[in-house]
Amino acid sequence: MRKTSLDAVYELAKRDKRVVFIGSDLGIGTLKQFKAEMPERFFMEGVSEAHLVTMAAGLALEGKVVYINTIATFLTRRCYEQVCLDLSLHHTNVRLIGSGGGVVYAPLGPTHQAIEDIAIFRTLPGMTIVAPCDAEEMKRLMPQTLDWDGPMYIRLGKGGDAVVSRPELGFQIGKALLVREGSDALIVTTGITLQPALAAAAQLEQSGISAGVLHMHTVKPFDTEALLAQAARVPAILSIEEHTIIGGLGSAVAETLAEADFNTPKRFKRIGIPDVFPDKYGSQATLLARYGITAEGAVAEVRKLLGR
């Protein structure tokens, strides 16, 4: 997914002189071709995220479209004030590409796990947050980032994530995708939780439960219309995210549902990382399993919500 997004930045830069790339201290050879062909628009600025975010804002105020890539925690936690004031307040066209959203860097520990990135960015006025589910969806997203108005955070998955997105459903920033229809329950996803949600829906179908899947690749602006339309049709709604249950997708769903005026009662549950820093190593998969962010976890919660 990261390679797909950075390759897309290179392609965008080739066709549009406004495109500038800034990395912090990325792996050797990253965007080698970009650097060779367009050195004046390629910057590797060192481990200085506070500076490079504001520098990017300066470039963007002058008309550039700036893509920054580094590890998600360093782009969200360390330079939060720079993101808030220089990207959000100035409404600059800077795209933050955060590597390793969620618990991708499980073996590296909590310093590298971006588990509250969506929550803290959701509070920033004018910020757009996108979390594609696979490399193919990333391919559809990237061309749309060029002329998008204002700052954007692009949350990257691990890479090699199973491709479940479907081109025929299309892709538009800010528009949720109904990936599967269902009449008993609705599972709402973002990023790579679409994969376990689809597996859960398939398992539930085996036992006669019809679960729909609504993929919120864009968490902000939040497609409340799509959520309400689908939620109205079912008694049970489940959100599943690779993120703390505080402030992220689940919270956005909860806020929307709580303010809605449904004709029938609803049950709702959030799956995500509880209010803790993950205390184990292992792999992304083992940490997701630890917190039930899995197909099995989703099946169990849907059953509980429905009492079936």
Binding footprint of other proteins on the chain (CB under 8 A):
20, 40-41, 43, 45-46, 48, 50-64, 81-82, 85-86, 89-90
Nearer to other proteins, 53 or 249 (CB): 53
Shortest spacing between CB 50 and other proteins, in angstroms: 4
Minimum distance between the CB of residue 80 and other proteins, rounded to whole angstroms?
Answer: 12
Closest separation in Å from C-beta 12 to other proteins:
16
Query: Of 57 and 141, which CB lies nearer to other proteins in the complex structure?
Result: 57
Question: Measured from the CB atom, is 56 or 138 closer to other proteins?
Answer: 56
- Using the minimum distance from each CB to other proteins, give the nearer residue, 51 or 112: 51
Min. distance of Cβ 114 from other proteins in angstroms? 21
Instruction: Quote the least distance from Cβ 13 to other proteins, whole Å.
Output: 12
Q: Which residue has the tokens 């528009």?
A: 175
Q: Of 41 and 158, which CB lies nearer to other proteins in the complex structure?
A: 41
Q: What is the 3-state secondary structure (H, E, C) of the chain?
A: CHHHHHHHHHHHHHHCCCEEEEECCCCCCCCHHHHHHCHHHEEECCCCHHHHHHHHHHHHHCCCEEEEEEEHHHHHCCCHHHHHHHHHHCCCCEEEEEECEECCCHHHCHHHCECCHHHHHHCCCCCEEECCCCHHHHHHHHHHHCCCCCCEEEECCCCCCCCCCCHHHCCCCCCCEEEECCCCEEEEECHHHHHHHHHHHHHHHHCCCCEEEEECCEEECCCHHHHHHHHCCCCEEEEEEEEECCCCHHHHHHHHHHHCCCCCCCEEEEEEECCCCCCCCCCHHHHHHHCCCCHHHHHHHHHHHHCC
**Residue (46 or 167) nearer to other proteins, CB:** 46
Q: How far is the CB of 286 from other proteins (least distance, A)?
A: 36
Indicate the residue among 50 and 300 with the shorter CB distance to other proteins.
50
Largest CA distance in the chain: 61
Closest separation between CB of residue 49 and other proteins, Å?
Answer: 9
